[in-house]
Amino acid sequence: MSLGGFTTPVWFLLLAVVAALAAGYVWMQRRRRRHTLRFANLAMLERVAPRSPGWRRHVPAALLLVALIALTFGLTGPTADQRVPRNRATVMLVIDVSLSMEATDVTPSRLVAAKEAATRFVDNLRPGINLGLVSFAGSATVLVSPTTDRAQVREGIANLKLAEATATGEAIFATLQAIETFGQLVSSDAGPPPARIVLLTDGKQTIPRELDGPRGAYTAATTSKESRVPISTISFGTQLGSVVIEEQRQPVPVDDESMQRISEISGGAYYKAANLQELTEVYDELAEQIGYQIRRSDASKPWFVLGTSIAILSLMLGFGLGQRVP
């Protein structure tokens, strides 16, 4: 938790009063010393006066000033950024199952590694978040509608099968439809829960060819932005990937450019992973972002507690050292 600002900073003007009190205390001590030296018989004073406690007699006053400073900070309404669990959200996990996911540039293959990392993501996501699953190749299929039942999602991931072509735009449109339908079912006075799409793919869209066509990925990303559903894209694989199709080996390099553009259009974030470890780290980061949110909260209580505690200590020391308050 870090300090994030003050709601009523005008109370800082009280620090001028505290400074004036400190200056007045110093002036009074010097005045008292001059007055004593002027009118007292020093030889007699040393014999009859008790030994001065020295610097210790100033401790209660110093503590009281510190207490006033702490209480002033409390009055200014300090706020802090606090990490708060998020229990009202919808997340759709969208996974590419096109034939290029069979490439072995990622050990043991792109699809197997994607399954393993996605399962870890499911396990790490906070239980109160609704999670759905969509797979896509030449078409998109909503395998699991948003639910808190993680077993359904894990089973869906385990049963992912390869298919031909890549229709990234159709996958986004199908996911948005699933989010809208679910939002209508669980909508409250505050509206539907906030939603996010996590899209993992390795290749360029092939259906349709035009990314900015009516059913293309860029058009879908624009619709996603209008629906206030950011897309976090994960470009998975390397430029060296290849697969055997119809007895011919064909290169299937990742398409980082289009994935980055989709995230930018939708207002989401772009990630790149070239192996299982990197993909796992990306999913861990996403689980943290999705599962928690940063809220600005009141942080004045610790200052009031500190100020009050120091003030009490000051009074106790004042009575103990001089039988008076500072």
Cis peptide before 108 (omega within 30 of 0): yes
CA dihedral of 142, 147, 152, 158, whole degrees rounded to 10: 60
Going by C-alpha positions, the residue among 186, 83, 213, 191 that lies closest to residue 132 is 186
Give 131's contacts (C-beta < 8 A, 6+ positions apart): 90, 91, 92, 93, 122, 125, 144, 146, 147, 148, 150, 153
Going by C-alpha positions, the residue among 14, 7, 5 that lies closest to residue 69 is 14
Specify whether the CB–CB gap between 195 and 229 falls below 8 A: yes
Q: 118-138 burial by CB neighbour count: b if 16+ within 10 A, else e?
A: bbbbbeebbeebbbbbbbbbe
Is residue 276 domain-shared with residue 149, that is, in the same domain? Answer: yes
pLDDT digits over 135-145, tens only?
999 999 999 99
Residue type, 262: I
Specify whether the CB–CB gap between 142 and 102 falls below 8 A: no
> Which residues in 1-88 belong to E strands, given as ranges?
2-6, 78-85
Is residue 104 domain-shared with residue 148, that is, in the same domain? Answer: yes
- Mean per-residue pLDDT pooled into runs of 10, the chain (326 residues): 72 89 82 60 52 68 89 87 73 96 95 96 91 96 96 97 96 97 84 92 91 96 96 95 89 94 96 94 90 76 90 82 54
Is residue 46 domain-shared with residue 103, that is, in the same domain? Answer: no
pLDDT of 47: 54
Is residue 48 domain-shared with residue 148, that is, in the same domain? Answer: no
pLDDT digits over 205-235, tens only?
999 999 999 999 999 999 999 999 999 999 9
pLDDT digits over 157-175, tens only?
999 999 999 999 999 999 9
Q: How many CB atoms lie within 10 A of CB 56?
A: 12
Is residue 60 domain-shared with residue 156, that is, in the same domain? Answer: no
Rounded to an integer, what distance in angstroms lies between the CA atom of residue 11 and that of residue 6?
10
Is residue 184 domain-shared with residue 260, that is, in the same domain? Answer: yes
Q: Give the CATH number, domain containing residue 101.
A: 3.40.50.410
Is residue 276 domain-shared with residue 183, that is, in the same domain? Answer: yes
Is residue 173 domain-shared with residue 126, that is, in the same domain? Answer: yes
Q: Please give the tally of structural domains in the chain.
A: 2
Is residue 183 domain-shared with residue 99, that is, in the same domain? Answer: yes
Edge-to-edge strands, sheet with 90-96: 140-147, 130-136, 90-96, 195-201, 231-236, 270-273
pLDDT of 1: 45
State the residue range of the domain holding 111: 85-293
**Three-state SS at 130:** strand
On the 0-12 / 13-18 / 19+ scale of CB atoms within 10 A, 15 is middle
**Three-state SS at 124:** helix
Rounded to an integer, what distance in angstroms lies between the CA atom of residue 257 and that of residue 235?
9
Is residue 150 domain-shared with residue 92, that is, in the same domain? Answer: yes
Is residue 200 domain-shared with residue 178, that is, in the same domain? Answer: yes
Q: How many CB atoms lie within 10 A of CB 204?
A: 18
Is residue 239 domain-shared with residue 317, that is, in the same domain? Answer: no
